[in-house]
């Protein structure tokens, strides 16, 4: 049998860089996140597009935690996204919750569903795991219509009150302009980015990477790999649920498409386009995918042919995705600079 292992996924390097760089890397990560969000807000054609990019970027971070750092190909991230959106939506509509409480509910429900679905999916490995997440994604997609009196079926969940930011009824800020929405979403993105950067650099993250590299050996040296994979799923569910909650808040409704398979496929494509080599790759994936889609869909009706070509090209030539290209560029430039310095010294 031709041996195809998940090792080919462009794997981030081990966590134990030399000790001296540790704090510096953290600060660089925070600065990178804040600067990128600011640049996106300025350059993006519209605030609402910038908000959409950041919402999907959060979901892609959650997906990368599983794909890049744990070696699991999750086909069901749309489930946690949709469930988070409906949870937040229902709390806005029926319980008059304000933004922070609604998002908290979205995260909580995202975690609970991730624990349930995850605990079943990680019983299988390899392609069977992928097929299981695919099955759950399709199943949840249909449940939207089976419980249409709760979810509003194909009309979507409607009747959102005006979104406002505040705690226990106090209205600190009305979220009725796209700038205010972008502000809340940007803060959430930076917070999630920092949280996940800490996590992937922690002992937990290092163990996830060990499981990605060689799950049998990780078990042999004493790690209950099933439990770690479940923890990774729950964390990914929390982050993706938050993205779903922000999606509901930003849209002012929850469309039935929020829980369909397409969302899972889109999140996956962005994760791989961006590159699973680092968390920043996930942000890149969301930005390039959505900006290009936004532009190309106005230029040519059949713009998805370009998307198809891009996907195939990435798999053949650029498995590291955009982040892989940057890393190769960096090592290439470093390589050339090195040669120039040596040649210079030679004369």
Partner 1 sequence: MNQSSIDRRMFLRSLGIAGAAVTAAPLLYACAKEDAGQNPGAGQSGAVDADALTLVSLYGTSGLQAELGQEGLDGLRLVPEAFGGTLLDRPVEIVAYDTQEAIDEAVRRVRESTEAGAKFFVGGLLSSTALAIGEEVNKSGGVFVTAAGADELTGSECQEALFRWSVATHGAIQETVLRMIESDSSRKRWYTITPDYVFGQALLDNAKQVFAERGIEHVGNSLHGLDATEFSGYINNAVAKKPDVLCILNFGAQSTTTIQQAVAFGVKNDMEILLAWSGGLSQFRALGPETLEGIYAGAQYWHTVDAPGNSEFVDMFREKYDKNPSYSHAAGYISGKLILDGVRAAGSADPAAVVQELEGMKYDGPTGEETIRAEDHQVIKDYYLMKGKTASDMEDDDDLMEILSSGQSVTAVDQTGCKLVPLGG
Partner 2 sequence: MTIESSGTTHPSDSDEGVPALQAVGLAKRFGRFTALESIDLTVRSGTLHAIIGPNGAGKTTLFNVLTGQLAPSKGTVLVHGESVHHVPVHRRLGVGLARCFQVTNLFPELTVLENVRLAVQGRHSRHAFDCWSTVGRNRGPIDQARQVLERVGLQRVAQRKTSELSHGQQRLLEVAMSLAPDPKILLLDEPTSGMGIDDVPVMERLLTQLTGDYTIIMIEHNMAMTMRVANRIAVLVAGRVLIDGEPDEIRADEGVQRAYLGEGLSA
Partner 3 sequence: MSSELLLSQLVNGLGNGLIYFVIAVGFTLVFGLMNFVNFAHGAFVVLGAYFAFELLEREVSFWAALVIAPLLVGAVAVVVERLLLRRLYRMAHTYQIVATIGLAIGIQEVCTLIWGPNQFTLPAPESLSTTIEIGATTYPLYRVFVVVLTATLALGLWLLLERTRFGAMLRAGSEDADMVSCLGINIYLLFSLTFGGAAFLAALAGVLSGPMRGLSPTSGDSFLALAVVVIVVGGIGSYVGALVAALMVAEVQSLAIVFAPAFGEVVIYALMAVVLLIKSDFIVGRLARA
Closer residue to partner 1 (CB): 144 or 208: 144
The binder of 225, among partner 3, partner 2, partner 1, none, by C-beta within 5 to 8 A per type, is partner 2
For helices 203-213 and 178-201, angle between their N-to-C axes, nearest 10 degrees: 70
Question: Pick from 95, 150, 332, 340: which binds partner 1 (CB under 8 A)?
Answer: 332
**What are the tokens at 133?**
């997440």
* Identity of the residue, 89 or 320, whose beta carbon is nearer to partner 3 in the bound complex: 320
Shortest Å, Cβ 197 to partner 2: 10
Site string for partner 1, 174-213 (x = CB under 8 A): ----x-----------------------------------
Question: Residue 173 pairs with which residues in a beta bridge?
Answer: 165
Residue 183 CB, nearest approach to partner 1 (Å): 13
Residue 231 binding target from partner 2, partner 3, partner 1, none, CB below 5 to 8 Å by type = partner 2
Q: Which is nearer to partner 2, 87 or 218 (CB)?
A: 218
Q: Say which residue the tokens 């900006």 belong to.
A: 291
Cβ nearer to partner 1, comparing 133 with 260: 260
> 216, 301, 342, 346: which one contacts partner 1 (CB under 8 A)?
301
Residue whose CB is less far from partner 1, 44 or 225? 44
C-beta of residue 99 within 8 angstroms of C-beta of residue 107: no
Give buried/exposed letters for 232-256 (b at 16+ CB in 10 A, else e): bbbbbbbbbbbbbbbbbbbbbbbbb
182, 40 contact by CB (below 8 A): no
Measure the CA angle with vertex 282, ends 300 and 176; round to 5°.
Answer: 75
Q: If we measure between CA atoms, which residue out of 76, 100, 74 comes closest to residue 88?
A: 100
For the four alpha carbons of 208, 53, 134 and 85, in that order, the dihedral sign comes to positive
Sign of the CA dihedral running 61, 65, 69, 71:
negative
Q: 13 or 30: whose CB is closer to partner 2?
A: 13
Q: Using CA atoms, how far apart are residues 42 and 37, in angstroms rounded to an integer?
A: 9
Query: Which residue, 208 or 251, is less far from partner 1 as judged by CB?
Result: 251
224 binds partner 3 (CB under 8 A): no
Q: How far is the CB of 113 from partner 1 (least distance, A)?
A: 21
Report the residue number, 53 or 208, with the smaller CB distance to partner 1. Answer: 53
Answer with the entry of partner 3, partner 2, partner 1, none that 214 interacts with (C-beta below 5 to 8 A by kind): partner 2
Q: Using an 8 Å Cβ cutoff, are 211 and 225 in contact? A: yes
Contacting partner 1 (CB under 8 A), which of 251, 267, 268, 270?
251
How many other C-beta atoms are found inside a 10 Å radius of the C-beta of residue 211? 22
Which of 34, 135, 194, 292 is the binder for partner 1 (CB under 8 A)? 292
Count of CB atoms situated within 10 Å of the CB of 320: 22
Q: Which of 30, 31, 127, 333 binds partner 3 (CB under 8 A)?
A: 127
Q: Is 9 left (phi over 0), alpha (psi -120 to 50) or beta?
A: beta
Binding residues (CB under 8 A) for partner 3: these are 1-9, 67, 73, 120, 123-124, 126-128, 130-132, 134-136, 138-139, 142-143, 145-146, 226, 261, 265, 268-269, 272, 302, 304-305, 307-312, 314-316, 319
């Amino acid at each position: 049998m031709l041996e195809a292992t998940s090792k080919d996924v462009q794997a981030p390097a081990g966590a134990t860089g030399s000790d001296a760089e540790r704090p510096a890397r953290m600060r660089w990560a925070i600065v990178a996140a804040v600067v990128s969000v600011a640049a996106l807000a300025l350059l993006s054609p519209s605030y609402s597009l910038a908000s959409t990019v950041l919402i999907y970027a959060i979901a892609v971070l959650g997906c990368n935690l599983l794909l890049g750092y744990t070696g699991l190909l999750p086909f069901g991230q749309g489930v946690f996204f949709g469930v988070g959106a409906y949870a937040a939506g229902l709390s806005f509509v029926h319980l008059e919750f304000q933004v922070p409480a609604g998002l908290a509910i979205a995260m909580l429900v995202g975690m609970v569903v991730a624990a349930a679905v995850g605990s079943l999916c990680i019983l299988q490995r390899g392609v069977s795991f992928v097929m299981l997440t695919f099955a759950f994604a399709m199943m949840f997609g249909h449940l939207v219509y089976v419980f249409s009196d709760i979810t509003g079926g194909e009309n979507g969940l409607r009747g959102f009150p005006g979104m406002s930011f505040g705690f226990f009824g106090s209205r600190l800020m009305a979220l009725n302009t796209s700038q205010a929405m972008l502000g809340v979403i940007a803060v959430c993105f930076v917070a999630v980015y920092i949280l996940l950067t800490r996590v992937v650099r922690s002992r937990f993250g290092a163990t996830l990477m060990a499981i990605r590299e060689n799950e049998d050996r990780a078990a042999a040296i004493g790690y209950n790999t099933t439990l770690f994979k479940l923890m990774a799923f729950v964390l990914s569910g929390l982050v993706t649920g938050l993205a779903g909650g922000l999606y509901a808040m930003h849209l002012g409704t929850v469309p039935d498409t929020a829980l369909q398979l397409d969302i899972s496929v889109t999140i996956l494509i962005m994760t791989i386009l961006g590159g699973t080599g680092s968390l920043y790759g996930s942000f890149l994936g969301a930005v390039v995918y959505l900006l290009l889609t936004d532009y190309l869909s106005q230029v040519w009706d059949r713009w998805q042919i370009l998307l198809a070509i891009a996907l195939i090209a990435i798999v053949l030539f650029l498995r590291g995705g955009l982040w892989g290209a940057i890393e190769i560029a960096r090592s290439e430039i470093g390589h050339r600079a090195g040669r120039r310095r040596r040649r210079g010294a030679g004369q």
